[in-house]
Amino acid sequence: MFKRQAQTPTSSVSITQAGMTRSTKDWNKTTTSMPLEYGLASKGDTRLADYSNQESFFHTIQTRYLTHIGSFPSVPALDEQLAALSIASNNTYTPPSSTSTSQSSTPKPDLSTLQNILMDMRKLREGLLASNRLDDFAKSAYIFIARAAILMSHPESYFPSIRHLLYVLHKQNPLSNPEVNELAGYLMLHLACSTNSYHDAYEVRQTFKVRDHRVDMAIKALVAGDYWLFWSTKKSVDGYKSKIMDRAVKDVRKHALKCVGSAYHAVDIEFLEGCTWREWEVLREEFSIAWEEDCGKIIIKKRPDSKAKTLNVRKEEKREVKRELTEPTTKPKAEPTPKPKVEAPTGLAASRWATPKNESVQQKGNWTQWG
């Protein structure tokens, strides 16, 4: 009933123009223009178990990281973006007052690049772990990942890397003494500042013979609750240790506010900002403080007014007058105590020869005349 129309053969040119040709590209081979999108070894992707793929992928991660870090014009702008990656709420970064006004017009930082770098670091770590690679390349890769993740305030990346370096790789391919001292110091600070595990921190110090005076002082300040020592130590350490110590900053500020509130009625604003290392306006919003500000001072506890004092004094005087009216006016006189009777001496004691000499007269050098 219906006639089938004859189909005209299509040429290869029309097929390619229509986009119907099957791609012959081999996605397992690396290209210089675009890096491979590797998967996680824990999800079944075993391509990063190959040593050559690990080395090329590590070079790509290094290039992307250094290019992104070098694109920032100033250090505060970089710190703001690195701190924005923090998961913990006590690791927020507030720029100084001088830079906050200049950066208010700048757009919000794009965190997608750093998040992708962190994910690539995780892929490389899982690939190294799956291949059980413990040579010098694995050592350098783990150290780079640990340092970069510390600056990005990402403990989920630097904590397993440091533990693998110290407890697994160090036994097979020993680290140098400066590397052990550095990495063990990072681990001590993380245990003390993030989890309050002071016992574990001192155990790491004893195991790896850590000799770092600043790390010891930082942990001592946290154990003793000495916020002045904590701030001075944080000012003297390097950028890596300071980033790890940032995780304990909120708890130290809260402790300092409690100490100041229980010890003073009123303090200067500069003194409170020195105790907490934070501006007063930011402190009041962050901790919801109800203290009042008056003429450059912060009123913690209000003293009673002078009018209230006079009213209280008058009330006490009225009470004393009422007590005097109710009590009897005449009080019973106390009976005098009888004096003891002195009996007259008799016999020899009554003679004039028994009378004692006057010492005052003897001192003057005169003899007493008798009779």
Strand partners of residue 316? none
How far CA 342 is from CA of 52, 146, 339, 345, 349, in Å, comes to: 125, 104, 9, 9, 14
With CA atoms as reference, report the closest residue to 179 among 154, 208, 150. 208
Q: Is 267 helix (H, G, I), strand (E, B) or coil?
A: strand
| DSSP states of 19-57 | T-SPP---TTS--SSS------GGGT--GGGSHHHHHHH
Q: Angle of helix 227-236 relative to helix 213-224, nearest 10 degrees?
A: 160
- What pLDDT is attached to residue 73? 66
Lowest mean pLDDT among 63-67, 68-72, 76-80, 364-368: 364-368
pLDDT per residue as tens digits for the range 255-313: 999 898 888 888 888 888 888 888 888 888 888 888 888 888 888 887 765 555 555 66
Structure tokens at 46: 């075993």
The CATH classification number of 43-95+110-248 equals: 1.25.40
Q: How far apart are CA 95 and CA 92, in angstroms?
A: 10
pLDDT at 46: 86
**Residue 294 main-chain phi, psi, to 5 deg:** -150, 110
Helix (H, G, I), strand (E, B) or coil at 334: coil
Average pLDDT value for residue range 103-115? 61
Residue 232 pLDDT level (bands cut at 50, 70, 90)? very high
Q: What is the pLDDT of residues 305-354, one digit of tens each?
A: 555 555 566 677 777 777 767 766 555 556 667 666 666 555 555 445 45
In angstroms, how far is the first alpha carbon of the chain from the final one?
Answer: 185
**Rg (alpha carbons) of the chain, rounded to whole number:** 43
Sheet holding 266-268, edge to edge: 266-268, 297-299, 292-294
> What's the mean pLDDT in 11-38?
46
Phi-psi region of 207 (alpha: psi -120 to 50; beta: other; left: phi over 0): alpha
Residues 6+ apart with CB under 8 A from 106: 77
**92: Cβ contacts below 8 Å, ≥ 6 apart:** 83, 86, 250
Residue 141 has pLDDT above 80, yes or no: yes
**What are the residue boundaries of the structural domains of the chain, listed by start?**
43-95+110-248
Tens digits of per-residue pLDDT, 179-202? 999 999 999 999 999 999 999 999
Q: Does 89 score more than 70 pLDDT?
A: no
- Considering the chain, what is the average pLDDT of its residues? 76
Whether the per-residue pLDDT at 234 is higher than 50: the answer is yes
Q: Are 91 and 160 in contact (CB under 8 A)?
A: no
Q: Of 116, 203, 97, whose CA–CA distance to 154 is shortest?
A: 116
For residue 16, what pLDDT is reported?
Answer: 42
What percent of the chain clears pLDDT 70, i.e. is strictly above it?
64
Task: Mark 98-115 as b/e (b = at least 16 C-beta within 10 Å).
Answer: eeeeeeeeeeebeeeebe
pLDDT reading at 242 higher than 80: yes
Sign of CA dihedral 177, 178, 182, 185: positive
User: Taking 50 as the threshold, does the pLDDT of residue 30 lie above it?
Assistant: no
Work out the burial of residue 303: count CB atoms within 10 Å of its CB; fewer than 13 is exposed, 13-18 middle, 19 or more buried.
exposed
Mean pLDDT score, 84-91: 49
Q: What is the pLDDT of residue 67?
A: 86
